[in-house]
C-alpha cells in the first residue's frame, strides 16, 4: 500500500505544467487530489480527463477565494493532508530599458510570494498541522536570473520562508519540502533554448523527496547548484547572468 494512499492533496496551478504532472503523480499512488486554477477551460479539460479529482476555480492571490477553496476541500475530502504551493509565473523585466510600474510588480509578487504564504497560513489555521507543505520555487531562488530579477527575488523570498517554516516544524510530523526545478519543458518555455526537464521528472523527484523526508527536491541542473554556489559562486553567478 502506498504511503500516499488516501492522502488529501491540494495543488495550486494544477491544470498545466508541473502542477498537472504532480496531480497525475499523486493520483497514480491513490491520493485524493484537488487542483485549482483561474481558467474555466483548463478546469473543464482537467475534470473531463480526471473525473476522480476535484477541480476548483480560484485565484490564489484573493484571500476570500483561498478561504472558499479550503472550505470546498473540507466539504469534499473532510480535511487536507498535503498542500502544494505551485502556482506562479515568470515575467521577464528589464529595469534599465523599461522599469515596471507598481501595479505590475504588486501583481507579480502577490502570485509568486505572498499568496503561497497566505494560503499556507490559512490551511494551517483551518486544518491544523499538515503531513506536508510543499513550495515549488526554482533554481533561480538561489541564483537570480538577469532576465527576470523580480522572479528571482520572489522565489528567493519563498525559499527563505520555507527554511524558516521548516525550523518551526522541526521535531513535528509536518514535513516542509522545497522543490527547486531548473527550466521545465512547458508551453511557457517554448522560446527558451536552455536544457529542459520534463514536468514528470519534477513530479517524480517531488514524491521521492517526500518519501525520503528530504527538505529539498533537486533535479536536472539544480542538483549541482548548492555545491556550485559553495565552491564557485562567481562562476555560478556568471552563468546565471546569461540566463
DSSP 3-state of 187? helix
The rounded distance, in Å, linking the Cα atoms of 149 and 236 is 16
Give 6-52 pLDDT, tens digit per residue: 999 999 999 999 999 999 999 999 999 999 999 999 999 999 999 99
Average pLDDT over residues 165-180: 97
Which domains are seen in the chain, by residue range? Answer: 8-241 (3.40.50.720)
Average pLDDT over residues 124-148: 95
Q: What is the pLDDT of residue 3?
A: 92
Of 155, 168, 150, 144, whose CA–CA distance to 241 is shortest? 144
Q: How much is the pTM?
A: 0.92
- Any idea which residue has 510543499 for its cell? 134
Q: What is the pLDDT of residue 114?
A: 98
132-136 and 175-180: which strand pairing? parallel
Q: Is the pLDDT of residue 231 over 60?
A: yes
Of 26, 46, 77, 151, which is the active-site residue? 151
Give 106-127 pLDDT, tens digit per residue: 999 999 999 999 999 999 999 9
Summary mean pLDDT of the chain: 92
Q: What is the pLDDT of residue 193?
A: 61
Give 49-61 pLDDT, tens digit per residue: 999 999 999 999 9
Q: Is the pLDDT of residue 86 over 70?
A: yes
8 Å CB contact between 36 and 46: no
Instruction: Give CA separation, 208 vs 13, 34, 97, 215, 226, in Å.
Output: 21, 20, 43, 11, 19
222 — pLDDT class (breaks 50, 70, 90): confident
Task: Tell me whether residue 127 is one of the annotated catalytic residues.
Answer: no
Q: What is the pLDDT of residue 242?
A: 55
Q: Is the pLDDT of residue 189 over 80?
A: no
Q: Is the pLDDT of residue 88 over 70?
A: yes
DSSP 3-state of 213? coil
Amino acid at each position: 500500500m502506498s504511503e500516499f494512499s488516501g492522502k488529501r492533496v491540494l495543488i495550486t496551478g494544477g491544470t498545466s505544467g508541473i502542477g498537472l504532472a504532480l496531480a497525475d503523480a499523486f493520483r497514480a499512488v491513490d491520493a485524493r487530489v484537488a487542483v485549482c486554477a483561474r481558467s474555466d477551460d483548463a478546469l473543464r479539460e482537467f475534470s473531463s480527463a480526471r473525473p476522480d479529482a476535484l477541480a476548483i476555480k480560484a485565484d490564489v492571490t484573493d484571500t476570500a477565494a483561498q478561504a472558499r477553496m479550503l472550505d470546498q476541500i473540507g466539504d469534499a475530502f473532510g480535511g487536507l493532508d498535503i498542500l502544494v504551493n505551485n502556482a506562479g509565473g515568470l515575467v521577464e523585466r528589464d529595469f534599465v530599458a523599461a522599469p515596471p510600474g507598481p501595479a505590475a510588480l504588486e501583481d507579480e509578487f502577490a502570485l509568486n510570494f505572498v499568496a503561497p504564504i497566505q494560503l499556507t497560513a490559512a490551511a494551517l489555521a483551518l486544518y491544523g498541522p499538515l503531513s506536508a507543505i510543499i513550495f515549488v520555487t526554482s533554481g533561480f531562488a538561489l541564483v537570480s536570473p538577469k532576465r527576470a530579477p523580480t522572479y528571482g527575488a520572489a522565489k528567493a523570498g519563498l525559499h527563505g520562508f520555507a527554511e524558516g517554516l521548516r525550523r518551526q516544524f522541526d521535531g513535528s510530523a509536518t514535513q516542509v519540502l522545497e522543490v527547486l526545478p531548473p527550466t521545465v519543458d512547458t508551453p511557457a518555455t517554448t522560446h527558451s533554448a536552455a536544457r529542459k526537464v520534463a514536468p514528470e521528472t519534477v513530479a517524480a523527484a517531488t514524491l521521492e523527496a517526500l518519501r525520503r523526508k528530504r527538505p529539498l527536491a533537486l533535479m536536472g541542473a539544480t542538483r549541482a547548484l548548492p555545491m556550485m554556489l559553495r565552491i564557485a559562486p562567481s562562476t555560478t553567478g556568471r552563468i546565471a547572468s546569461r540566463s
